[in-house]
């Protein structure tokens, strides 16, 4: 067999190998997605979605987190509630096992400093100055997929 014939056969086999590789379906590698909404309204013990991102100093603020395209394995969800001064007021670490989709609800309850309750009758914002303004809730799944949501606290 001549060198020309050998190279031609190798070339045909090489092209066929590349075509087979290109035709092989890739494994689904969709990244998980995060969706979330915030609410202070509860009906029958369950948060309900509303159209507002403004909350009062005494509200219990729920973040309802919808996760999709999860692999069948264990996952780590982290939620950080950051006040208008940039201080993380609440950090949540939640491990769970799930595949496909999952809904997880977390919440933030603001507490005035000791002694402020005595004067809240005259001024509901007493001792809550650091809480008034734009907050950030940062939701992270498995240390990579992330969603940030801003909301406002008014007293």
CA–CA dist 48, 46 (Å, integer):
6
Closest CA to 102 of 128, 70, 130: 70
CA–CA dist 88, 2 (Å, integer):
74
**CB of 137 closer than 8 Å to CB of 79:** yes
pLDDT digits (tens, 9 = 90+) for 39-98: 999 999 999 999 999 999 889 999 999 999 999 999 999 999 999 999 999 999 999 998
Question: What is the rounded end-to-end Cα distance, in angstroms, of the chain?
Answer: 90
**CB of 76 closer than 8 Å to CB of 32:** no
Count CB-CB contacts under 10 A for residue 31: 10
CA–CA dist 129, 62 (Å, integer):
21
Bridge partner list, 35: 66
pLDDT digits (tens, 9 = 90+) for 101-153: 999 999 999 876 655 454 454 555 556 788 999 999 999 999 999 999 999 99
105-129 burial, b for 16+ CB within 10 Å, e for fewer?
ebbbebebeeeeeeebeeeeebbbe
For the whole model, what pTM was predicted?
0.74
**CB of 105 closer than 8 Å to CB of 79:** no
Q: What is the CATH number of domain 30-154?
A: 2.60.40.1930
**CB of 139 closer than 8 Å to CB of 147:** yes
Strands 133-141 and 60-82: antiparallel
Domain ranges of the chain: 30-154
**pLDDT given for residue 140 in this prediction:** 97
């Amino acid at each position: 067999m001549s060198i020309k014939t050998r190279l031609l056969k190798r070339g045909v086999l090489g092209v066929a190998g590349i075509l087979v590789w290109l035709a092989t379906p890739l494994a689904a590698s969709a990244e998980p997605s995060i969706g979330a909404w915030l609410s202070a309204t509860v009906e029958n013990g369950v948060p309900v979605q509303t159209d507002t991102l403004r909350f009062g100093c005494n509200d219990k603020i729920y973040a309802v987190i919808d996760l999709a395209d999860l692999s069948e394995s264990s996952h780590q969800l982290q939620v950080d509630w950051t006040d208008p001064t940039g201080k993380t007021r609440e950090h949540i670490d939640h491990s769970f096992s799930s595949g496909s989709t999952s809904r997880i609800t977390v919440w933030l309850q603001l507490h005035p400093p000791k002694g402020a309750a005595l004067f809240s009758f005259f001024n509901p914002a007493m001792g809550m100055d650091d809480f008034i303004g734009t907050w950030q809730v940062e939701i992270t799944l498995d240390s990579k997929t992330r969603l940030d949501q801003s909301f406002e606290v008014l007293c």
